[in-house]
């Protein structure tokens, strides 16, 4: 049978749990490859986890090569992505490094010229869109979660789990002894993405999903908000004003990536990076993969032959289950 996975898979980047034998990388705070002893760069718990008898077997760590392979497979399985012609964007002004903080609207036209809204009738899109209005965007405002909203969360996760993309991700993670059953994976997705924690003064005011996909306002600035569907729907209502972009990905098809400046009801976002034209399950899947494989660190992927990195951070002040971490944020890194 499948051996029980280690209890705490979302460890701080300073730990070797689940990382034994991982290749050395300068970006890592400390290392878990045998070579670290010679370099004197081992993590504090290297002996406990990676010496013979430690439970983190190196074959369960996810290598750089495996990340490139699985991300390329997930990219190929994004059957619900926008097709050429479904979306026309008008990026207009390209901001230099000194312009991103200026809060000026340098693009008179909206970002989205055209979106084929038939996309939104696909099951993963429609169940995703239902979740977007469930949140108070101000941090420090307690989130009241109704029974209907819980049903909407279950419905969304149920729909994404039907996709070939998420089934592939689950199969990969099961192979790596991260999950024993699909039910366990589903429960954990619910915890890491929808579990509530406090970004403010104790109120249960935030979740990974709200932060990443819906967006929040904290100290007068937009925080999170990395989703193209949310952006398009709010821009259409006149609530979001597109200012400029500072990064345009190498793709000439969807999904592509933009780094953008905008204001949301008067609150400014200096650089909000987002996939454009990808399905909700594609984003959820890639962010989840990176959160499990490289929490708190750059996660290097390959998508359609192009390299791209995703940064995730675990929420460190509270946990769920047996010490598992909520997602604090996840986003595409613009180079």
Residues with a catalytic annotation lie at: 211, 226, 269
Structure tokens at 138: 């101000």
Alpha carbon 263 to chain centroid distance?
Answer: 22
Structure tokens at 115: 């979106």
- DSSP H or E stretch at residue 123: helix 123-132
C-alpha distances (whole Å) from 53 to each of 10, 17, 115, 322 are 21, 13, 55, 22
Q: How far apart are CA 262 and CA 231, in angstroms?
A: 10
Specify whether the CB–CB gap between 129 and 236 falls below 8 A.
Answer: no
Tokens 């729907």 belong to residue:
233
- DSSP H or E stretch at residue 184: helix 182-194
Q: How far apart are CA 123 and CA 156, in angstroms?
A: 8
Q: Where are the beta strands (DSSP E) in 108-228?
A: 112-115, 216-218, 221-223
């Amino acid at each position: 049978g499948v051996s029980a996975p280690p209890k705490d898979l979302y460890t701080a980047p300073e730990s070797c749990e689940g990382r034994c034998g991982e290749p050395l990388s300068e970006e890592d705070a400390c290392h878990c490859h045998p070579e670290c002893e010679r370099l004197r760069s081992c993590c504090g718990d290297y002996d406990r986890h990676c010496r013979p008898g430690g439970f983190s077997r190196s074959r369960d760590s996810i290598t750089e090569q495996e990340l490139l392979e699985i991300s390329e497979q997930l990219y190929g399985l994004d059957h619900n992505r926008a097709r050429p012609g479904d979306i026309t964007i008008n990026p207009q002004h390209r901001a230099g490094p000194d312009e991103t903080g200026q809060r000026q609207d340098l693009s008179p036209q909206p970002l989205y010229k055209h979106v084929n809204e038939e996309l939104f009738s696909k099951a993963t899109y429609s169940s995703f869109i239902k979740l977007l209005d469930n949140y108070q965007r101000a941090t420090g405002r307690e989130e009241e979660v109704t029974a209907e909203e819980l049903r909407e969360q279950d419905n969304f996760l149920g729909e994404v789990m039907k996709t070939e993309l998420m089934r592939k991700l689950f199969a990969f993670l099961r192979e790596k002894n991260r999950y024993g059953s699909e039910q366990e994976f589903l429960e954990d997705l619910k915890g890491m993405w929808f579990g509530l924690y406090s970004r403010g003064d104790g109120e249960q005011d935030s979740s990974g999903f709200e932060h990443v996909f819906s967006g929040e306002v904290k100290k007068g600035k937009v925080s999170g908000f990395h989703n193209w569907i949310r952006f398009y729907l709010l821009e259409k209502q006149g609530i979001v004003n597109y200012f400029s972009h500072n990064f345009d990905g190498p793709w000439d098809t969807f999904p592509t990536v933009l780094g953008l400046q905008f204001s949301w009801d008067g609150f400014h976002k200096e650089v909000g990076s987002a996939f454009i034209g990808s399905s909700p399950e594609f984003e959820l899947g890639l962010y989840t993969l990176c959160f499990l494989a490289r929490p708190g660190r750059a996660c290097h992927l390959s998508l359609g032959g192009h390299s791209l990195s995703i940064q995730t951070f675990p929420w460190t002040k509270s946990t769920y289950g047996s010490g598992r971490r909520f997602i604090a944020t996840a986003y595409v890194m613009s180079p």
